[in-house]
Amino acid sequence: MLEKKGRERIVIMRYVKKKYFFSDWSKLRDIFTQNNLFLFLDFDGTLAPIADTPGKAKIDSSIKKLLRQLSFLKNCRVAIVSGRSLKDIKQKVGLQKIIYVGNHGFEIDGPKINFKKKVSLKSKKIFKCIAKAVKIRHQDFPGIVIQDKEMTLSIHYRLVEKKKVRFFEAFFKKVVAFYLKKGEIIVNPGKKVYEVYPPIFWHKGKAVSWLLRKTRFFQNKRKIRAIYIGDDETDENAFVSLKSRALTIRVGLKKSSYARYYLHNVNDVRIFLERIFLLKRGQQ
């Protein structure tokens, strides 16, 4: 369930019964055959294993090859949806015929598409103030990685010592409390990361819904079947937004998710992409 409290965005997690994706493959295969497919894929934890630091994350060559092959099919489109900056995610994947959704949807680029959500100078200054406050305490919490992506801010603390994690979380909440109270930012926790956004009701789900309205991506008149795969809390916004419009899959079984299906890991994602490619290639 998606709710707004003032200007804050909150995803309230509730149990939704879900199934292992491949257990329904025979049924879903027919659906995929009858429609154009629009694949929306998160990067970290979905296409690439979670790394200690964002810079170390790397996509396997076999997955990259499948993405390239899928991007050349007329009945399939691929979009990478990431919290990374647009420049960063494009460098990580390095393919030309796919759509890149960076900064949680605040910037989009690809064939026939270019979009950038306006973020105020005030928001950018607040991001810098938060980043500076965290950096000052770096010696107390070694291992913090700060990513000021101008349009959003990420504070990673995966490498902070376990015994210090709860102290860092308490410290960070104090840093952002003033801005949250005034409705000047939105904070979304992820896997050992805090994502800070401007006070705009926009996220991965909104960006993907916007893309789905752009029907010019396909030349034929078949209906579009969207599939969204992600592993993080920020992907829950997309699972909620696309509940009635897409098949949603979470990487890693988690009861408190709005995804309809789950895959175990990145290798399962690779198998999924391989099956989709073989299926859609046979229709060319």
Given a cut of 50, whether residue 2 has pLDDT beyond it is no
In this predicted model, what pLDDT tens digit does every residue of 211-229 receive, in sequence order?
988 766 666 667 889 999 9
- Integer Cα distance of 99 and 106 in angstroms: 13
- Alpha carbon of residue 19 to chain centroid: 21
> Radius of gyration (Cα) for the chain, nearest Å?
19
Kindly indicate whether the domain formed by 18-117+202-281 is annotated with CATH number 1.10.357.10. no
Given a cut of 80, whether residue 1 has pLDDT beyond it is no
Given a cut of 70, whether residue 11 has pLDDT beyond it is no
**Domain range summary for the chain, segments of one domain joined by +:** 18-117+202-281, 121-197
Check residue 4 and give its pLDDT: 42
Say which residue the tokens 């979380």 belong to.
Answer: 169
* Average pLDDT of span 167-184: 97
| Cα dist from 255 to 14, 15, 28, 246, whole Å | 8, 6, 22, 19
Given a cut of 50, whether residue 8 has pLDDT beyond it is no
Check residue 282 and give its pLDDT: 81
Check residue 223 and report its DSSP letter. Answer: P
CATH number assigned to the domain covering 121-197: 3.30.70.1020
Check residue 195 and give its pLDDT: 95
3-class secondary structure per residue, 64-98: HHHHHHHHCCCCEEEEEECCCCHHHHHHHHCCCCC
